[in-house]
Amino acid sequence: MTVSGNVVPLHQPRRDDGQAADGLPLKVLTEWTAWLRERIEPAWRPGEWDGEARLFSGDVDHAGTAVYRCDVAACDALTRTRRGLCPTCEKAHRDGSLGLKEFKAVYVPDRNRVISGERADCRVTGCPRDSVLWGLCNAHGTLRHRDLQRDPDSGLQAWIERQTPYPPSPACRVAGCRYDARATWGLCGVHHNRWKKATAASRGQRSAPTPAWLDRQAPFLNVHQFSLAPLHPVARLEMLYALQQRDERGQKIDPVAVRQAVSHLAGKAESIAIATNDQLPGGMQANVDALVRETHRILRLAFDRFEGVDPAGRDVLDLSELGVKSLRGGTTQRPGGLDVTDIRQPWLRQILVTWIAENKPNTTETRRGLRACEAASRALDVRPGGGMDPSALVFADMNAVVDTFRVLPKLDGGAMSSKQRGALLSFFFKILDYNRAAGHLDGMSASFARHSSHVIKSEEIDEDDVGKALPESVIAQLDGYVELLGQGMTHGKMTPEQVGAMARAVYELLRDTGRRPYEIAELRTDCLEYADGEWLLIWDNRKGRRLNRRLEIERDTVQTIRTWLAVRDTLDLPTGSETFLFPPAGENGKIRHLAPEQIAPIIRKWADSVPVLLSEEFDGNGDRLPFDRSLIYPYVFRHSFCQRYADAGVRIEVLRELMDHKSMQTTQRYYKISHKRKREAVNVMRLHTVDRRGKSAPMASATAYEARSVAVVFGNCTEPSNVKAGGKACPIRFQCAACPFYRPDPSYLPVIEDHIRSLKADKEMAVMMEADEFVVRNLDDQITAFKGTVETLRKLMDAMGQDERDEVEEASAVLRKVRAVQGHGSVSLGMPGLPGQRGGSTA
């Protein structure tokens, strides 16, 4: 029974006044038992569950049972760990010197001394008794033991052939016990000793075991078995019901964990369902404690339904009861629930519950729906009537809801992006529209509806925002502490050294390839390809639905993969992960490779462990400030990779291919330079232009620099006709190094060097074609002249002080980025055009 919605706890002994042992009326207990029996499947797990004996014997071939064969090839014993060893083989491996893989392949245990746990007849021909040890029944096993004492070299098979079978022996009186009743009172030796221990206080006055004692005894259990006999009769039904519910949800049955849970619950309460949390046993292993508490939760919900209580009417909803799916598939197994206390309007709470129950979303979608409905509830709570009556809602109420979403912050109080706020608002409308279409809101006012004005506009991105990329100086500092990667972390059965090696490989691939975390996690062992003298990384862009992509990588990155592959060869890999580069942490068979969410803790913990990490900013004393470590996370290395290439002036179409972006606009974000920064860069660089002979030739103004930058790709040009024609009317066909109008500056160094390489290639082709000597000589002269330009600019940079050099290098990076996206080496400062002119713009 309930009082104010709370179950009365069980704590009193059995009485003669119609009350059960724990204070529950016998009538209610009887009805509850009948309710359970109606819902328990009597034919559950045929071949495994014996209802009469209350005994479960797990089948190694059943995917839903956590029982497996020993992974040693020659062993038939059972273990509770996938790809694990039985106790006998585990001990032999610890005592030996073989590696795990070799041990599993070559070790041969003494089969005759292994109890496999599976029922079989005695090996003596015609003997109907159950085998126990050496494949013999207890009686023949005793004879064999005596024979070995007389003759240790006696062969087993020859001895078996000389034996005569015994007649069938009565089984032990304990239900499900596989041993013969060799002791007094019809008990096996194991249960005889238990009964002696139970009656130790009544020396010499021992009587036959009582039916009640026999009913609560479990048989001798192997690793694949559990018995519900030790529990109270009602608790047995409850535990069986809970196990069947878990089985229906796809959760595995772990016989060892169930056996330990039964041992802790035996004698604690007549009914598990109405025990309070304080009455549940404690101090258990984590998995056993989780099983007990989940069993209690399942039964509490079932008891509520038995009493007619709607589970959806609670303040905390049970996710598994509502059918919420986990992110990895199947019904969620997470304890706890969804707290809907902050949704004050009953109708709003109900439409959320209905949407969850009928759509079966995953946990992420469920909590997103909760967040959206909580925001709507707060908005309606301050409106006239508090939004309690759905039929009285008006258009202004919906406006208030939308306005709340427009200023919605993150859970930690930080600013939420317009995209995120818009997505949450859309989610609220999704829940509302579903319930309307399903007929659950027929009484709601038609005025409380979405309008075309109910949108959250995307915010303009500040072009001065440098983005999320880590500064190269920070990455260089991180590189100095790679030995700390993976420290203090576990990953499956891997040793700390193996975890560290995997963490380092993951980091270096994130840093050097710019791939998304999930793309790194899903790499396969054959991800390297050598073609046309270059190494390529093979990866899958699932986000863009483009598989088997190729990315050119450096030899250092190739070495990173090879080094990890050598470590990986020493691992005992989980089933199904053999083809993936990085194995998962668990062995549930659903995730076959490292999960992206397992990468984030690796990077976060490593970043926090670095002793000193400095930013590029300075305090009032000129000392560098500490870097904000919260800005270091797996995806940031993709931003950094892209920003690195954009800063180097790589053409935007090339970088788009490197990043495998679908839209050019995505890549273009990394090239954004504000008008202010461009003008500052030009003002710096215009003072460092030189002529073809290396003499200083500064530009008079930023406008002059801009006008002359359109002329040629690898330097400014002051030749009037060429400048006027936008660089398309060079009188000497762009042999700039010989031209008195050529005005290069340090920002052009990379493209000048590229041009030299191009000229060298042209010269080789001319020689192969046996072109006239003057052609080859002309190319040689150009190469020599441009080399002189490079040397001049290098000397100019070397002669600068450190502060001036840093200023010039930063300006060079800005201008190269601008040229890469604007094309043809031009630097547009967005100068205002004259009236009637096209292409002018204002800064």
- Residue 417 is which amino acid? S
Segment 68-86 mean pLDDT = 86
Q: Which residues pair with 742 in a beta bridge?
A: 717
Choose among 456, 251, 223: nearest CA to 334: 251
**Can you tell me the distance from the alpha carbon of 137 to that of 139, in angstroms, rounded to the nearest whole number?**
6
**Can you tell me the distance from the alpha carbon of 509 to that of 599, in angstroms, rounded to the nearest whole number?**
12
Q: Which residues pair with 130 in a beta bridge?
A: 121
User: Residue 84 — pLDDT band, cuts 50, 70, 90?
Assistant: confident
Segment 161-166 mean pLDDT = 92
Distances from the Cα of 346 to the Cα of 377, 379, 400, 452, angstroms: 10, 15, 19, 27
> Would you state the structure tokens that stand for residue 828, as one six-digit string?
């547009």
**Can you tell me the distance from the alpha carbon of 464 to that of 599, in angstroms, rounded to the nearest whole number?**
31
Number of Cβ atoms within 10 Å of the Cβ of 354: 18
Q: Residue 100: CA atoms inside 13 Å, Cβ hemisphere, count? A: 14
Number of Cβ atoms within 10 Å of the Cβ of 253: 21
User: Residue 24 — pLDDT band, cuts 50, 70, 90?
Assistant: low
Query: Can you say whether residue 134 is alpha, beta or left, with left for phi > 0 and alpha for psi between -120 and 50 degrees?
Result: left
Q: Which residues pair with 530 in a beta bridge?
A: 535
Segment 10-29 mean pLDDT = 53
Helix segments in 266-362, DSSP class H: 286-306, 346-359
- Burial classification of residue 272, based on how many CB atoms lie within 10 Å of its CB (0-12 exposed, 13-18 middle, 19 or more buried): buried
Number of H helices, E strands in the chain: 28, 16
pLDDT at residue number 15: 38
pLDDT at residue number 260: 92
CA angle 561, 651, 547 (to 5 degrees): 45
pLDDT at residue number 545: 79
Residue 298 φ/ψ, nearest 5 degrees: -60, -45
> Would you state the structure tokens that stand for residue 120, as one six-digit string?
């079989």
User: Would you say 261 and 291 are in contact if contact means Cβ atoms under 8 Å apart?
Assistant: yes
Q: What is the CATH code for 472-646?
A: 1.10.443
Checking if the pLDDT of 615 tops 70, the result is yes
Look at 188-202, 256-270, 784-798 and tell me which has the smallest mean pLDDT.
Answer: 188-202
User: Residue 656 — pLDDT band, cuts 50, 70, 90?
Assistant: confident
Segment 28-45 mean pLDDT = 92
User: Residue 831 — pLDDT band, cuts 50, 70, 90?
Assistant: very low
pLDDT at residue number 41: 93
Summarised one tens digit per residue, pLDDT across range 382-401 is 999 999 999 999 999 999 99
**Can you tell me the distance from the alpha carbon of 240 to that of 56, in angstroms, rounded to the nearest whole number?**
10
Number of Cβ atoms within 10 Å of the Cβ of 298: 23
User: Would you say 345 and 379 are in contact if contact means Cβ atoms under 8 Å apart?
Assistant: no
**Can you tell me the distance from the alpha carbon of 645 to that of 657, in angstroms, rounded to the nearest whole number?**
12
User: Residue 8 — pLDDT band, cuts 50, 70, 90?
Assistant: very low
Regarding predicted confidence, which is higher, 67 or 23? 67
DSSP label at residue 491: -
- Burial classification of residue 381, based on how many CB atoms lie within 10 Å of its CB (0-12 exposed, 13-18 middle, 19 or more buried): middle
H or E element in which residue 3 lies: strand 2-3
Look at 216-220, 519-523, 574-578, 824-828 and tell me which has the smallest mean pLDDT.
Answer: 824-828
Chain centroid offset of residue 267 CA: 41
Helix (H, G, I), strand (E, B) or coil at 715: strand
> Would you state the structure tokens that stand for residue 676, as one six-digit string?
């202010």
Q: Residue 560: CA atoms inside 13 Å, Cβ hemisphere, count? A: 23
**Can you tell me the distance from the alpha carbon of 341 to that of 696, in angstroms, rounded to the nearest whole number?**
74
**Can you tell me the distance from the alpha carbon of 190 to that of 192, in angstroms, rounded to the nearest whole number?**
5
Summarised one tens digit per residue, pLDDT across range 243-258 is 998 898 788 899 999 9
Regarding predicted confidence, which is higher, 696 or 245? 245
Distances from the Cα of 61 to the Cα of 69, 104, 111, 524, angstroms: 9, 20, 21, 29
Choose among 311, 294, 271: nearest CA to 31: 271
User: Residue 822 — pLDDT band, cuts 50, 70, 90?
Assistant: low
Residue 535 φ/ψ, nearest 5 degrees: -90, 135
Segment 616-639 mean pLDDT = 85
Checking if the pLDDT of 588 tops 60, the result is no
Segment 664-692 mean pLDDT = 70
Summarised one tens digit per residue, pLDDT across range 201-222 is 665 556 888 898 999 999 988 8
Dihedral of alpha carbons 430, 435, 438, 442, sign: negative
- Residue 124 is which amino acid? V
Number of Cβ atoms within 10 Å of the Cβ of 466: 12
Mean confidence (pLDDT) of the chain:
82
pLDDT at residue number 827: 52
Helix (H, G, I), strand (E, B) or coil at 325: strand
Look at 79-83, 336-340, 552-556, 717-721 and tell me which has the smallest mean pLDDT.
Answer: 336-340
Domain boundaries, the chain: 1-66+224-309, 312-456, 472-646, 674-822
Structure-derived torsion over alpha carbons of residues 95, 96, 100, 106, reported in degrees to the nearest 10: -130
pLDDT at residue number 404: 93
Checking if the pLDDT of 648 tops 90, the result is no
CA angle 653, 656, 662 (to 5 degrees): 120
H or E element in which residue 26 lies: helix 26-39
User: Would you say 67 and 224 are in contact if contact means Cβ atoms under 8 Å apart?
Assistant: yes
CA angle 633, 592, 288 (to 5 degrees): 90
Number of Cβ atoms within 10 Å of the Cβ of 149: 9
User: Would you say 582 and 523 are in contact if contact means Cβ atoms under 8 Å apart?
Assistant: yes
**Can you tell me the distance from the alpha carbon of 722 to that of 170, in angstroms, rounded to the nearest whole number?**
112
How would DSSP label each residue in 597-626?
Answer: HHHHHHHHHHHHH-S--EEEEE-TTSPEEE
Query: Can you say whether residue 640 is alpha, beta or left, with left for phi > 0 and alpha for psi between -120 and 50 degrees?
Result: alpha
Residue 596 φ/ψ, nearest 5 degrees: -55, -35
Helix segments in 81-188, DSSP class H: 87-95, 100-106, 138-150, 156-161
**Can you tell me the distance from the alpha carbon of 333 to that of 771, in angstroms, rounded to the nearest whole number?**
77
End-to-end CA distance of the chain: 75
Task: Pick the most confident of 136-150, 506-520, 810-824.
Answer: 506-520
Regarding predicted confidence, which is higher, 19 or 709? 709
pLDDT at residue number 738: 80
Regarding predicted confidence, which is higher, 414 or 16? 414
- Burial classification of residue 78, based on how many CB atoms lie within 10 Å of its CB (0-12 exposed, 13-18 middle, 19 or more buried): buried
**Can you tell me the distance from the alpha carbon of 68 to that of 62, in angstroms, rounded to the nearest whole number?**
9
**Can you tell me the distance from the alpha carbon of 335 to that of 293, in angstroms, rounded to the nearest whole number?**
8
Look at 233-247, 401-415, 698-712 and tell me which has the smallest mean pLDDT.
Answer: 698-712
Residues 6+ apart with CB under 8 A from 60: 67, 68, 69, 78, 224
User: Residue 826 — pLDDT band, cuts 50, 70, 90?
Assistant: low
User: Would you say 251 and 332 are in contact if contact means Cβ atoms under 8 Å apart?
Assistant: no
Q: What is the 3-state secondary structure (H, E, C) of 27-79?
A: HHHHHHHHHHHHHCCCCCCCCCEECCCCEEECCCCCCCECCEECCCCCCCCEE
Buried b (16+ CB within 10 A) or exposed e, 719-730: beebbeeebeeb
Buried b (16+ CB within 10 A) or exposed e, 793-815: beebbeeeeeeeeebbeebbbbb
